Amino acid sequence: MPKRDSSDTPSYSGLLKAIRDGQVEQLQLFPREDEVQVHFKDGRQLRVPVFSNDQQILRTAEAAKVPLSVNNGQGDSAAAGLLVNALLGLLLIGLLVLLLRRSASVAQRALGFGRSQARLQPEGSISVRFDDVAGIDEAKAELQEVVTFLKEPERFTAVGAKIPRGVLLVGPPGTGKTLLARAIAGEAGVPFFTISASEFVELFVGVGASRVRDLFRQAKAKAPCIIFIDEIDAVGRQRGAGIGGGNDEREQTLNQLLTEMDGFEDNSGVILLAATNRADVLDSALLRPGRFDRQILVELPDRRGREAILGVHGRSRPLGDDISLALWARRTPGFSGADLANLINEAAILTARRNRSAIDEQAMNDALERVTMGLSAKPLQDSAKKRLIAYHEVGHALLTTLLPAADELDKVTLLPRAGGVGGFARTTPDEEILDSGLISKAYLQARLVVAMGGRAAEMVVFGPSEVTQGASSDLQMVTQIAREMVTRYGFSVLGPVALEQDGGEVFLGRDWTRSQQHYSARTAKVIDQEVQQMARAALDRAVAMLQPRRELIDALVESLIEQETLDGDSFRAQVARFEKRADSSSKELSAELNVEAAQVAVQTGILNRE
């Protein structure tokens, strides 16, 4: 604000005179404050009060040709207001245009809406080969057959062989399912339709179904070819699941898919491949023979597998001489193929950033740090924890090997299962049981003991107070089996009565209706007692069987930690060697076994009591 010189403020009339006398250079009127700022020719500046709406000074200034400007004071805010208005207007127009555009594109899409969104990759355009997939040899071998069929269908049709129409790849994320599917298409050199199941499902009912129809129509026209539906659980979930009914649209889509799969004749040359990491939630109709009748497990790679995968991804990159892939495979337990690819890629990025010409140990180390930081499940490197899990799993594996009635061990591994922690011991179900659907009491009892094997091993090795909650799902299974034995199969003191209906297994994705109870409170109490008794007996028996074999367990754990995965045959061989040695060195063990047999007899006796 200009300085006011109050000492010689001219009066109003003085100001008029000064204007007429030509002493004033310029005037600036502030109507809101009823003041005028006077710039004299000699450089002085003054503010002089004037009347509101003063005409006199205007005329005087005009007559003397003194320039007069009006400073409204509101000027700034008025300008700002104008700007806001303009912006608002622009925004509105923008919105309008956006809306119009959108509706135009919807209209455009509506025409091709029912079209499948599948991307067709013509034959020969896929460069992925089986060589690029490593570490999952079993899955690869199974799929080799599919390739052979696509290449030389006559070989199969000549002998009347039917090829599976649907092959389902199941495994944890990043294990190479999508890659494997592309490799098949690449090897077979046929057109390859790929779509993610979530792309079937849109906002509008019926679109998914018509997309499925369209996809199969296109595929049949191009046969022989492969349709690959990725992440099929998005449409393939158990129907009727969830509270308040299922999703109609999804169900319609799934029904259409089922219909189409039934619809194409045998050997029509269209092979449907699908991938999921949640086979447990899939609708059972999808897994029926004639549809996805072949399931291929794609599992996390073991040490040798990881080395091979690192090899594949190291092929195209300059690896320093100091890098041992075997060593890096050892350092990355629990890594999926995608994690390994990521590791090497990170190392390459770091190498480029440091202006080195080859990936060295340092870059790999730093890359590992980065990669593991973003990993949800840390690889099992903490060896105390790893050891405990190894003992737990060996407990299961050893019991299933020792008990004649139990399933055969397929493999035991320390690699985490999808979504789970630690390792697992997997068995192959008895073929006879699978075929006949008949389950004996002895088999179920053996299963109880095997399920308790993990907890029992922890108790034997680490002591009763060091057991972990790692057995919680085992205990759930034991409880469920024991309960069914009591309430449904008549395998207990309660005698041959079915107290509960066949309610179907309760698990995620299935309907969640518990069967109704039709028994007295007293019976309920006995059921609970029986279940507890069975569980306890199973645990006791597991402990009794593991205790005398501590040496064997230690040896098995050592080889498991060393190799990460032991297959059933090598496991059995190791057990057999030990049992033979123990047998020849002393008769103690066989005495022990006799005690066990006696115990079983006693238990069976108790259970048979009516």
Site residues, ligand ADP (CB under 6 A):
133-136, 173-179, 275, 309, 312, 337-338, 341
**Nearest CB to ligand ADP, comparing residues 193 and 578:** 193
Cα–Cα–Cα angle for 98, 101, 104, rounded to 5 degrees: 150
Residue 227 binds what, of ligand ADP, Mg ion, Zn ion, none (CB under 5 to 8 Å, by partner type)?
A: none
Helix (H, G, I), strand (E, B) or coil at 27: strand
Q: DSSP string covering 418-435, please?
A: TT--S-EEEEEPPHHHHH
Q: b/e string for 53-66 if b means 16 or more Cβ within 10 A?
A: ebeebeebbeebeb
Residue 178 in contact with Mg ion, rule: CB under 5 A: yes
Residue pair 421/413 in contact by the 8 Å Cβ criterion:
no
Give the Å distances, CA to CA, from 566 to 396, 399, 411, 493: 13, 15, 6, 40
Helix (H, G, I), strand (E, B) or coil at 133: coil
Nearest to 417 by CA among 236, 176, 175, 234: 175
Q: What minimum distance in Å lies between the beta carbon of 394 and Zn ion? A: 11
Which tokens sit at 563? 């190799």
Choose the binding region for Mg ion from 114-122, 173-181, 393-401, 420-428 (rule: CB under 5 A).
173-181
CA distance 34 to 294: 94
> Which of these is catalytic: 260, 307, 393, 564?
393
Q: What minimum distance in Å lies between the beta carbon of 118 and ligand ADP? A: 17
Active site residue 431: no
**Nearest CB to Mg ion, comparing residues 230 and 346:** 230
Residues 6 or more apart from 548 whose CB is under 8 A from it? 588, 589, 592
**Nearest CB to Mg ion, comparing residues 178 and 332:** 178
Size of residue set near Mg ion by CB under 5 A = 1
**Nearest CB to Zn ion, comparing residues 199 and 474:** 474
Residue 474 binds what, of ligand ADP, Zn ion, Mg ion, none (CB under 5 to 8 Å, by partner type)?
A: Zn ion
CA distance 511 to 479: 20
**Nearest CB to Mg ion, comparing residues 178 and 210:** 178
In the bound complex, which residue of the shown chain has the CB atom lying closest to Mg ion?
A: 178
CA distance 448 to 429: 15
**Nearest CB to ligand ADP, comparing residues 308 and 448:** 308
Q: Is the dihedral of CA 111, 117, 118, 120 positive or negative?
A: positive
Q: What minimum distance in Å lies between the beta carbon of 173 and Mg ion? A: 7
Peptide bond into 31 cis (omega under 30): no
Q: What minimum distance in Å lies between the beta carbon of 132 and ligand ADP? A: 6
Q: What minimum distance in Å lies between the beta carbon of 179 and Mg ion? A: 8
Other C-beta atoms closer than 10 Å to the C-beta of 444 total 17
Q: What minimum distance in Å lies between the beta carbon of 198 and ligand ADP? A: 14
Contact footprint for Mg ion (CB under 5 A) = 178
Q: Which residues are catalytic?
A: 393
